[in-house]
A and B are shown apart, each in its own frame.
Chain A
Amino acid sequence: MQRRFYFDANATEPLRPEARAATLAALDALGNPSSIHGEGRAARRLLEDAREAIAARFGGAPRNLVFTAGGTEADALAIHGLAGGGRVLRGATEHPAVIAAAGPQAGIIPVDPQGVVRLEALEAMLAEGAALVSVMLANNETGTVQPVAEISRLCRAAGVAFHVDAVQGAGRLPTSLAEMGADAISLSGHKLGGPPGAGALLLTRDAADRLMPLMLGGGQERGRRGGTHALPAIAGFAAAARAATAEDAASLAPLRDAIERAAVACGAVVIAGGAARLPNTTCLMLPGCRAESQVIALDLAGLAVSAGSACSSGKVARSHVLEAMSLGAGAGEAIRVSLPWNATGEHVSVFAEAYRSMAERMGRRAA
């Protein structure tokens, strides 16, 4: 069987061994965390330990953390729950979860060609009044990191709530609710190397107290999110949050840089190469070669990469992220390469070889 190499960590990270162990242990825990008998209390302890670990890891308080089914629900909860029907401003390159929750009436904050939010544009938009600003910590397609501390200052000055979709940045960059100056941050377990099925919204106390719930019933999560807790996924999420450090993620940058050098040598252009970026992510445009064809060619060679976000359920559409960065036709010629936490030098050599061979074949066809 062909050996496969995974370069799609931004879609989902491989499960970390610590998270696997915690998930399996929680699968054996029998009780419902809301039951008051011994089994229920044991399950509740697992839940509260997880809550404390995740809150501490991301600079918030356990009581202000709301467990959700994942990052998308956390985004929806933050935006519906904090904007209260008021005007929402969101970045042009946000994840579809934020775009959908913010709705068609939302103000769209433009980005520069590196994908960075234009602060002067945001300032002008804030002057017209808003209830909530939502900007991501790091982009899932290009890895571009947003200046969240500066955005926070603008929001504070305008008295507007600030939500950060930290799903891609958490565990890969220093990520602290308090240091970012956000009112709420969205987190996802499986993007940290936990199992899919658990995420969280971590809020400041003020924001937590005024959050309007999306799902009701049962009274779990202080009435902010009803439903039996997904304990195995939550336990895995906490273990992954402990294990995923920005220092470890930074060690992926040299591998990513080597991949970029190999691709550039074949004629590729690095998108957002001038921006502060996630250490594991690169977005490579190969002029004249359709992204879809590149992904298929690499897949046949045993490499899993993607043309954009994984979320569109089968639809390979043009990336709104790259369109917003004014890349023109180039938007359809870029692939996303995102290294998983367990990537090694072998990822670099395998990629360099497969990419070179693909670029040669496609180049000949294009010529």
Chain B
Amino acid sequence: MIYLDHHATTPCDPRVVEAMLPWFTERFGNAGSVEHAMGREAAEAVEAARAEVAALIGAAPSEIIFTSGATESNNLAILGAARFAKGLGDERRRVITLATEHHAVLDPVAALESEGFEPVVLPVQADGLLDPAILAEAMRGPTLLVSIMAVNNEIGVVQDLAGLGRMVKAAGAAFHVDAAQASGRIPFNVSEIPADLVSLSAHKMYGPKGIGALYLRRRPRMRIAPLVAGGGQERGLRSGTIPVPLIVAFGEAARLARAEGPVESLRLRAQAVRLLGLLRAEIPTLQLNGHADRRVSGNLNLTFPEGTAAAILAAAPDLCLSSSSACTSGPDGAVGPSHVLTALGLSADAAQRSLRIGLGRFTSASDIETAAASLAAAARRAAAAARAAAA
């Protein structure tokens, strides 16, 4: 079995598992129990991990709030920033995002309408990039918050965050970046990208599921209202017992990403180019969705000329990949054509013929050769079946 679905989730790096294990068992103290040694030891480990996560994006440790994952970070950033500003009497109501965002951004933005805000969802170009002129036009009304993802989870497109961010700041709005797919995969530094809020996820960077973070800029200070209050952990912005083992693991994953990410990214780029070349040799009309160069290493989103993605997947049981975001493809959600691909202008039919490939840290050179052969054969079988059905 070859795993090619690294945008849905990544395997936990064995070094990450090793780092976290002692914190499950012999060092199990509650990081809130500062009155005794076991609690203090846990609190110190949390702070060391916080420093690693901060370093990954060039932030200060005091700017990192731990959450249960990027979905919570996105909700906290968007709902929290809007509610805090409204509570202070801020008159601005416009909240802007892109049609290709993850549902964890689109849904809270849409929900703000019922609280008196004005959600605006901007279209993207056919290559998945945002036209800055469209953003400028949208920000002519008094704008509170703009949320733009760093790396798209389906098509891997990397937006010009530094440039767009400068426009957002010039307009006086707060800038949120969902970097769940970016951290450890592209250089991302808050000294270059003027984001006020950045969402991070551990399980997209070889850490465990159940832990994420929100970066909250200190200078100038970004203020948000908490979603979950109570014990006062994380400076009162996110209450709840701190999951020490998960945080230690996140810290180790961030350390590894900082150390190995740049080289890994070069290798993944070469592997993706190789895979695309092998597939195109077999299927010349294969279409690559999203900008060809401004995309994250290791991502390919491909529309096949014939045969549905479901039929291709069924014909390639040795490959583990998906047709779109994991979050909408499961039994919990409606299985429809990808909202990302339709935003690029693909027809529903073309979207149903599309597959997302995500290569990762443990993808080998031979995996690429095997996957290419298997996928090409599956595509041929699916195409033949589609032709037979049409005849």
Chain A residues with a Cβ under 8 A of chain B: 4, 6, 8, 11-12, 14-15, 20, 23-24, 27, 30-40, 44, 68-73, 75-76, 95-101, 188, 190, 195-198, 214-223, 226-234, 292, 295-296, 298-299, 303-307, 309-316
Q: Across the interface, which residues of B come within 8 angstroms of A20, CB to CB?
A: 24-25
Q: Across the interface, which residues of A come within 8 angstroms of B35, CB to CB?
A: 292, 295-296, 299, 305-307, 316
Q: Is B331 an interface residue (CB 8 A)?
A: yes
Selected from A40, A198, A221, A309, the residue in CB contact (under 8 A) with B326 is A40
Selected from B21, B28, B36, B71, the residue in CB contact (under 8 A) with A218 is B71
Given contacts A38-B1, A96-B232, A220-B327, contact A196 B244 (CB under 8 A): yes
Contact segment of B51-59, B103-111, B266-274: B103-111
CA distance A16 to B30 in the complex (A): 15
Given contacts A27-B12, A69-B68, A230-B211, contact A214 B228 (CB under 8 A): yes
Known: A34-B332, A221-B332, A227-B68. 7 other contacts (CB 8 A): A12-B29, A12-B30, A31-B5, A32-B9, A34-B329, A71-B240, A197-B243
Check if A12 sits within 8 Å of B329, measured CB to CB.
no
CA distance A216 to B102 in the complex (A): 11
Check if B230 sits within 8 Å of A96, measured CB to CB.
yes
Q: Across the interface, which residues of A come within 8 angstroms of B33, CB to CB?
A: 8, 11-12, 304, 306, 310
**How far is the CB of B68 from the nearest CB of chain A, in Å?**
3
**How far is the CB of A315 from the nearest CB of chain B, in Å?**
7
CA distance A15 to B331 in the complex (A): 32
Q: Across the interface, which residues of A come within 8 angstroms of B317, CB to CB?
A: 38
Pull 11 A–B residue pairs with CB atoms less than 8 Å apart, ordered by A. Answer: A6-B38, A8-B29, A14-B28, A34-B330, A35-B9, A72-B231, A76-B230, A95-B231, A196-B243, A217-B105, A217-B327
Determine which residue in B210, B211, B227 has the highest number of CB atoms from chain A within 10 A of its CB, and name it.
B210
Check if A312 sits within 8 Å of B71, measured CB to CB.
no
Determine which residue in B30, B203, B232, B328 has the highest number of CB atoms from chain A within 10 A of its CB, and name it.
B30
Q: Across the interface, which residues of A come within 8 angstroms of B243, CB to CB?
A: 69-70, 190, 195-197, 233
Check if B69 sits within 8 Å of A228, measured CB to CB.
yes
Q: Across the interface, which residues of A come within 8 angstroms of B331, CB to CB?
A: 44
Check if A39 sits within 8 Å of B320, measured CB to CB.
yes
**How far is the CB of B314 from the nearest CB of chain A, in Å?**
10
Those of B46-98 within 8 Å (CB) of chain A: 67-72, 74-75
Q: Across the interface, which residues of B come within 8 angstroms of A36, CB to CB?
A: 322, 329-330
**How far is the CB of B97 from the nearest CB of chain A, in Å?**
12
- Nearest CB in chain B to that of A227: its residue: B71
Given contacts A76-B230, A232-B209, contact A217 B322 (CB under 8 A): no
| Interface of B: prevailing SS | loop
Q: Is B246 an interface residue (CB 8 A)?
A: yes
**How far is the CB of B124 from the nearest CB of chain A, in Å?**
19
Q: Across the interface, which residues of A come within 8 angstroms of B72, CB to CB?
A: 69, 215, 227
Check if B230 sits within 8 Å of A227, measured CB to CB.
no
CA distance A303 to B38 in the complex (A): 10
Q: Is B39 an interface residue (CB 8 A)?
A: yes
Q: Is B241 an interface residue (CB 8 A)?
A: yes
CA distance A40 to B7 in the complex (A): 13
Chain B residues with a Cβ under 8 A of chain A: 1, 3, 5, 8-9, 11-12, 17, 21, 24-25, 28-30, 32-39, 43, 67-72, 74-75, 102-108, 111, 201, 203, 208-211, 227-234, 239-246, 313, 317, 320-322, 326-334
CA distance A215 to B79 in the complex (A): 9
Selected from B1, B313, B330, the residue in CB contact (under 8 A) with A44 is B330
CA distance A305 to B208 in the complex (A): 30
Given contacts A37-B5, A197-B210, contact A299 B24 (CB under 8 A): no
Check if A304 sits within 8 Å of B71, measured CB to CB.
no
Check if A8 sits within 8 Å of B326, measured CB to CB.
no
**How far is the CB of A199 from the nearest CB of chain B, in Å?**
8
Q: Across the interface, which residues of A come within 8 angstroms of B102, CB to CB?
A: 217-218
Determine which residue in B21, B239, B317 has the highest number of CB atoms from chain A within 10 A of its CB, and name it.
B239
CA distance A8 to B317 in the complex (A): 49
Check if A216 sits within 8 Å of B107, measured CB to CB.
yes
CA distance A27 to B245 in the complex (A): 12
**How far is the CB of A141 from the nearest CB of chain B, in Å?**
13
Which 8 pairs across A and B sit closest by C-beta, in order of nearness?
A230-B210, A311-B231, A217-B104, A97-B230, A100-B229, A227-B71, A197-B243, A69-B68
Q: Across the interface, which residues of A come within 8 angstroms of B320, CB to CB?
A: 30-31, 37-40
Q: Across the interface, which residues of A come within 8 angstroms of B104, CB to CB?
A: 216-218, 226-227
Check if A8 sits within 8 Å of B36, measured CB to CB.
yes
Selected from B37, B208, B326, B330, the residue in CB contact (under 8 A) with A27 is B208
Check if B241 sits within 8 Å of A188, measured CB to CB.
yes
Determine which residue in A218, A231, A233, A234 has the highest number of CB atoms from chain B within 10 A of its CB, and name it.
A218
**How far is the CB of A83 from the nearest CB of chain B, in Å?**
14
Check if B210 sits within 8 Å of A198, measured CB to CB.
yes
Check if A69 sits within 8 Å of B38, measured CB to CB.
no
Check if B69 sits within 8 Å of A230, measured CB to CB.
yes
Check if A30 sits within 8 Å of B211, measured CB to CB.
no
Check if A100 sits within 8 Å of B230, measured CB to CB.
yes
CA distance A98 to B240 in the complex (A): 11
Q: Across the interface, which residues of A come within 8 angstroms of B209, CB to CB?
A: 32, 228-233
Q: Across the interface, which residues of A come within 8 angstroms of B29, CB to CB?
A: 8, 11-12, 304
Given contacts A35-B322, A100-B230, contact A69 B25 (CB under 8 A): no
